[in-house]
Amino acid sequence: MKPLKVGIAGLGTVGVGVVRLLAAQKALIAARAGRPVMVTAVSARDRVRDRGVQLDRLTWHEDAVTLAQDPDVDVVVELIGGAEGKAKAVAEAAIAAGKNFVTANKALLAVHGAALAKAAEANNVTIAYEAAVAGGIPVIKALREGLAANQVSRVAGILNGTCNYILTVMREEGRDFSDVLEDAQRLGYAEADPSFDVDGVDAAHKLAILAGLAFGARIPFERLHVEGIRRISAIDIAFAQELGYRIKLLGIAERTGAGVSLRVHPAMVPEQKPIATVDGVFNAVLLEGDFSGPVFLRGRGAGEGPTASAVVADLIDLARNIRVPVWGMEESALEEAPIVPMSDLGGAYFLRLSVVDQPGVLADVTAILRDHGISLESMLQHGRAPGEAVPIVLVTHETREAAVNAALADIAKLPAVLEPPALIRIEPQ
């Protein structure tokens, strides 16, 4: 039977992983795909680098755009990364040439997914992207196919392994963020410039994709609320444990009567909940469908093996001519959903203050909270240090984000408050 001929643009960790996996599982993949799946062409910046896989029999393209136009390529696999530049040019060239397109590029899809979907439909080709979110976890297939009969009301997950690893080590070893980050960089879990991960951007790209699929909506990436983990301290994690919570960086998308809420931020999760138990570099996603009920998926979110596995799963589908609309429905059917502002968010909050230990401070703080309509569930203060800085933790009852922010702005003005108050949202999950 005629093989499916694959061109790979980008030979980093994942690209090499795809080449290696297709060779190692050649017979199994052919049986499951109904025909051989073979790499015929590749493109990368460095032609002479030893990547540990055999490439000498493949067509080498200096320019990845020409690979996308190669007549001996049926499917283009883009593993370059980034929302703009070469990755976007390869996607557009492949679609224009009438070739199916497979990518692990979450930034590209989060920013340009609707436009690429429209072009793909016009050219009668498919965009497959299982590897773009949560590595080896089949969450795209779960949303596009397994839950296709459901109205999905909520998606929540740990979408970045680097942040989850850092927060796990901080909790287990009582160390601060900057110290653990250095270890993560040395071990290869964090990049030399870690901002994309630790500032929440990577998780936000993935959440935008999941939300678009879950809600059948065009998601404007710039409307997501995005916070990272730089301000989480060892003392926050210790207090969280005392209160029965674990701190996780979560991506949360919810459909409400007012529209769609989209946010990435650290959150306190009850320690008995499944998502709170996901540690290290693992990812997890909770999907809530109206007929399916909650569906919980957990696994490795990155790395050569899991991500290559997801890419090849897409190739097997394409070899079988299994084609699903990019966003689970035609692009013209996608909704322009209103985005709910963060100020309208409701929930409970963990607030940590660093104050001078002196009479009247707590009374001043609680008076401000009272004036903004915020009531307290509990308060923690350990020990006394008259005249010195001490931490005070306040846990609110359910309230509104706008009220909390206004109260914290007033609290920060108190002479006895030594640094900006810390806020962490409490998620029931």
Q: Do residues 40 and 101 share a domain?
A: yes
Task: Identify the sign of the CA torsion 61, 64, 70, 74.
Answer: positive
- Residue at 336 is within a domain: no
Look at residues 143, 161, 136, 138 and name the one whose alpha carbon lies nearest to residue 308.
136
Domain containing 16 — which CATH number?
3.40.50.720
User: What is the domain-level CATH number for residue 359?
Assistant: 3.30.70.260
Q: What is the pLDDT of residue 155?
A: 97
Burial 9-28 (b: 16+ CB within 10 A, else e): bbbebbbbbbbbbbeeeeee
Cα 396 to its chain centre, rounded Å, is 28
Same structural domain for residues 15 and 111? yes
C-alpha closest to that of 123 among 101, 149, 146, 148: 101
CATH code of the domain containing 149: 3.30.360.10
- 75 with 143, same domain: the answer is no
Residue showing tokens 């015929």:
40
Using CA atoms, how far apart are residues 157 and 254, in angstroms rounded to an integer?
12
Of 266, 299, 332, the domain-final residue? 299
419 and 278 within one domain: no
- The verdict on residue 220 lying in a domain is yes
pLDDT at residue 190, as a whole number: 82
Q: Do 186 and 251 have their domain in common?
A: yes
Rounded to an integer, what is the distance from CA 124 to the centroid of its chain?
Answer: 29
Which position has the token pair 């900006």? 420
Classified as helix, coil or strand, 119 is helix
326 domain residue, yes or no: no
Q: Range of 228's domain?
A: 139-299
Specify if 87 maps to a domain.
Answer: yes
57 and 112 inside one domain: yes
User: Quick one: 100 and 241 in the same domain?
Assistant: no
Contact between 207 and 262 under an 8 Å Cβ cutoff? The reply is yes
323 belongs to a structural domain: no
| Nearest partner of 290 among 429, 141, 152, 144, judged by Cα | 152
383: left (phi over 0), alpha (psi -120 to 50) or beta: left
d(C-alpha 106, C-alpha 144), whole Å: 16
Q: Is residue 339, in this structure, part of any structural domain at all?
A: no
Per-residue pLDDT of the chain (429 residues; tens, 9 = 90+): 899 999 999 999 899 999 999 999 999 999 999 999 999 999 988 777 877 787 888 888 989 999 999 999 999 999 999 888 899 999 999 999 999 999 999 999 999 999 999 999 999 999 999 999 988 899 999 999 999 999 999 999 999 999 999 999 999 999 999 999 998 888 888 888 899 999 999 999 999 999 999 999 999 999 999 999 999 999 999 999 999 999 999 999 999 888 999 999 999 999 999 999 999 999 999 999 999 999 999 998 888 889 999 999 999 999 999 988 999 999 888 998 899 999 999 999 999 999 888 888 889 999 999 999 999 999 998 767 777 888 999 999 999 999 999 999 999 999 999 999 999 999 986
- For β-strands 225-226 and 259-270, DSSP reports them as parallel
Residue 119 lies in a domain: yes
What pLDDT was estimated at residue 429? 62
Burial tier of 413 (Cβ tally within 10 Å: 0-12, 13-18, 19+): exposed
Do 254 and 175 lie in one domain? The reply is: yes
Nearest to 52 by CA among 23, 21, 16: 16
> Do both 88 and 162 map to the same domain?
no
Residue spans of alpha helices (H) in 97-141 = 106-122, 139-141
As annotated, the active-site residues are 206
User: 107, 132, 157 — which closes off a domain?
Assistant: 132
Comparing C-alpha atoms, which of 395, 401, 385, 266 is closest to residue 340?
401
Q: Is residue 337 in a domain?
A: no
For 343, residues 6+ apart whose C-beta sits below 8 A from its C-beta are 400, 401, 402, 405
- Total domains in the fold of the chain: 3
Do residues 260 and 147 both lie within one domain? yes
> Are the C-beta atoms of 17 and 308 separated by less than 8 Å?
yes
How far is it, in rounded angstroms, from Cα 218 to Cα 337? Answer: 7
Give the Cα separation of 234 and 177 in Å (integer): 7
Do 241 and 114 fall into the same domain?
no
Q: Say yes or no: 104 and 232 in one domain.
A: no
Contacts of 1 by beta carbon, 8 Å cutoff, 6+ apart? 34, 35, 36
Strands 346-356 and 389-396: antiparallel
Backbone angles phi, psi at 203, to 5 degrees: -65, -35
Q: Which of 267, 299, 331 delimits the end of a domain? A: 299
d(Cα 310, Cα 46) in Å, to the nearest integer?
Answer: 25
pTM above 0.85, yes or no: yes
Write the secondary structure of 224-246 as one string of H (helix), E (strand) and C (coil). Answer: CEECCCCCCCHHHHHHHHHCCEE
Chain centroid offset of residue 120 CA: 24
At a CB cut-off of 8 Å and minimum separation 6, what does 61 contact? 7, 41, 42, 43, 67, 70
First to last CA, the chain: 49
